[in-house]
Structure 1
């Protein structure tokens, strides 16, 4: 099968980039013909080397629209249509990770009539994160929802009935080693992600640990626009000596010697890839009940708390330090991660792609993988 990925704006580092690389390469290894079409320049170019068949179809660097996220999408559609005039059409096009590639692909294919390939949207954040662009999703033929929360919200915001496939993001099961729990009275809390406060709410985490009593250490792995602001906040709250700042690390789990709990204080998460990665290494998860984590942090492997509720976050962390809450067993956490292994997820992708490429796809109903 011929499958194209049409990419919206990405930086080159993050969960979206990891998932696109894993799925595109996994499908290629299963014998499918893969192309990745890049609409925007990528800040961290080394990520592109992990992708099969990358082609840049955005405006040239001399164009004032180069690098602009909001621009005249008619020009993008024209460039994509020109690309397909010179190259083969795919059997299915996956438009990710925002609604913009959906609109561009739909307009590029609009004059092809029966030759028009189906366009499948693949959002990686909750639909509300893409306001006011949600109307663009109605130009897709189907949708991939990476969580049950996104599936529910997609159904509510679409103006017409379209198939929605629930397919979680995958992790590779190769070379995953359990990470040891701490010994003695010192607890090791872990945060892995972008250091910014609008979505990831690292500020909430720092404010919460500043109230804790007991022996603990917070490992902050990642980088981002609010790093300096967060370091100042840690100093003001007098917790700098309890935090280790790693910066961005290609393989964050390789630098953690001991990990007792992953903390995900996000305002919203489409899925929470890092939560699955932590569970696979035997680390329980404390996350906000913000949609995506609800599919991952189930009973017996962690806890959920309301988004933005720093007091609830503090109380759970303090109860762990006090021994009032016991951490889940490593083997329970690792077992819970197995349903996200990449081979099972690829099976669901192949099923979806086969249905969408079928001539009878217009008669298909919404598919739900549980």
Structure 2
């Protein structure tokens, strides 16, 4: 069976699709399976000119928005690139972004299409202050879910929470299947170590949706209480300068290290002690599973798919989003008590291996793919 994994841009960022899809290929290398990855190069801009329409809604009222216009142009570019580079995609397409799925079905309507919705672009735009709730852009982006539902042969997502999020925007939410992201355990190697000063780490795109402003305020509170720590921030994004200024304003710039984008953070994450990410939204939160497999204690928020991974007090700690005081208290618990920290980390690693292994996800996908075999 020849499979095509249709991505958006090349899988370069930590987390999400990049955590799973590139590592699946070798699991499908056999006489029975063949897998190819396809994506839109980032250099492709404003090439597509094809007129595209949607079956379930009229896009015309939304075209006054520059954000919608840009989205539509990227859709046309993906169609242009696909027609240029691909004659036949194989027996089955598995798309991992709405643009990829809609473009593939537009060009190859006869090929079965499975679509995984990994995250909500509109939710991030809302939290980052780029669009307004129920505004043109929000209504356009949420309309795409029903369009996908009408086109695909199977609709998937990555968590119970995100299926609930999608429910108001589709006709049959009960038909959405859930296959969480899987992680190749061989990439993550916990390393026994003793850090005299607790090392905190977060890995994410630097945008308001990730709540790093809350993390910095919580860390300032820890410093005021006399706790020693170092906070390592891996990732880049539009909020970086603002976050650096906030760290200086709070008096914790010396304790905070901004690394920028790093391609393979899993290679050195095991040397840290505590993974913390106070997200305001998270469809699944792949970085929590990666940190757990690396042997770190976890501190997260009660949003999205994070509580599906973390049982508070058992394999990590949970706090409400936008509550720096509660976050500081949770960090204080794991900083002040190394034994508690170790137990949380051990439990987190065990649970991640049991529930989020790449082997488990691959086996679930193979069963799904075989339903479409001739």
Give the TM-score band, short-chain normalised. Answer: 0.7 to 0.9
**Is 1:205 aligned to residue 215 of structure 2?**
yes
Partner of 1:188: 199
Distance 1:79 1:176 in 2: 35
SS of residue paired to 2:299 = strand
Structure 2 vs 1, CA of residues 104 and 183 (structure 1 numbering), >3 Å: closer, same or farther? closer
Distance 1:36 1:327 in 2: 39
Partner of 2:22: 21
Distance 1:11 1:352 in 2: 23
CA deviation profile, 1:234-254 (whole Å, cap 9, x unmatched): 111100111122232232233
Q: How many residues align?
A: 331
Partner of 2:101: 102
Structure 2 vs 1, CA of residues 318 and 8 (structure 1 numbering), >3 Å: closer, same or farther? same
Partner of 2:237: 224
CA deviation profile, 1:148-186 (whole Å, cap 9, x unmatched): 2123333442124674332111111215321345455x3
Does the 8 Å contact 1:11/1:42 carry over to 2?
no
**Is 1:264 aligned to residue 277 of structure 2?**
yes
**Is 1:2 aligned to residue 17 of structure 2?**
no
SS of residue paired to 1:351 = helix
Does the 8 Å contact 1:187/1:321 carry over to 2?
yes
Residue 354 of structure 1 and its aligned partner are, at CA, apart by 1.0
TM (norm. structure 1) is: 0.78
The correspondence of residues 40-189 of structure 1 with structure 2, limited to 5 A, is 40-42=40-42, 60=47, 68-71=70-73, 73=75, 76-77=78-79, 80=82, 87-97=87-97, 99-110=98-109, 116-126=110-120, 129=123, 130-138=141-149, 139-160=151-172, 163-180=175-192, 182-184=194-196, 186-189=197-200
Residue 295 of structure 1 and its aligned partner are, at CA, apart by 2.2
CA deviation profile, 1:108-135 (whole Å, cap 9, x unmatched): 234xxxxx12211112214853535333
TM (norm. structure 2) is: 0.77
Does the 8 Å contact 1:95/1:102 carry over to 2?
yes
Structure 2 vs 1, CA of residues 72 and 147 (structure 1 numbering), >3 Å: closer, same or farther? closer
- Point out the more displaced range, 300-309 or 342-351: 300-309
Distance 1:72 1:37 in 2: 15
Distance 1:198 1:14 in 2: 18
Partner of 1:287: 300
Residue 263 of structure 1 and its aligned partner are, at CA, apart by 0.2
The correspondence of residues 355-366 of structure 1 with structure 2, limited to 5 A, is 355=371, 357-358=372-373
CA deviation profile, 1:273-315 (whole Å, cap 9, x unmatched): 2111111122121111211212211251101222222222122
Residue 346 of structure 1 and its aligned partner are, at CA, apart by 0.7
Unaligned 5+ segments in structure 1 are: 44-55, 111-115, 360-370
Residue 31 of structure 1 and its aligned partner are, at CA, apart by 4.5
Distance 1:161 1:239 in 2: 45
Structure 2 vs 1, CA of residues 181 and 301 (structure 1 numbering), >3 Å: closer, same or farther? farther
SS of residue paired to 1:343 = helix
SS of residue paired to 2:184 = coil
Distance 2:186 2:349 in 1: 13
Partner of 1:52: none
Residue 206 of structure 1 and its aligned partner are, at CA, apart by 0.9
Residue 349 of structure 1 and its aligned partner are, at CA, apart by 0.9
The correspondence of residues 216-365 of structure 1 with structure 2, limited to 5 A, is 216-256=229-269, 258-299=271-312, 300-323=314-337, 326-329=340-343, 330-339=345-354, 340-355=356-371, 357-358=372-373
More helix by share: 2
Partner of 1:51: none
Distance 1:11 1:274 in 2: 15
Does the 8 Å contact 2:190/2:270 carry over to 1?
no
Residue 256 of structure 1 and its aligned partner are, at CA, apart by 4.5
Partner of 2:138: none
Residue 209 of structure 1 and its aligned partner are, at CA, apart by 0.7
SS of residue paired to 1:93 = strand
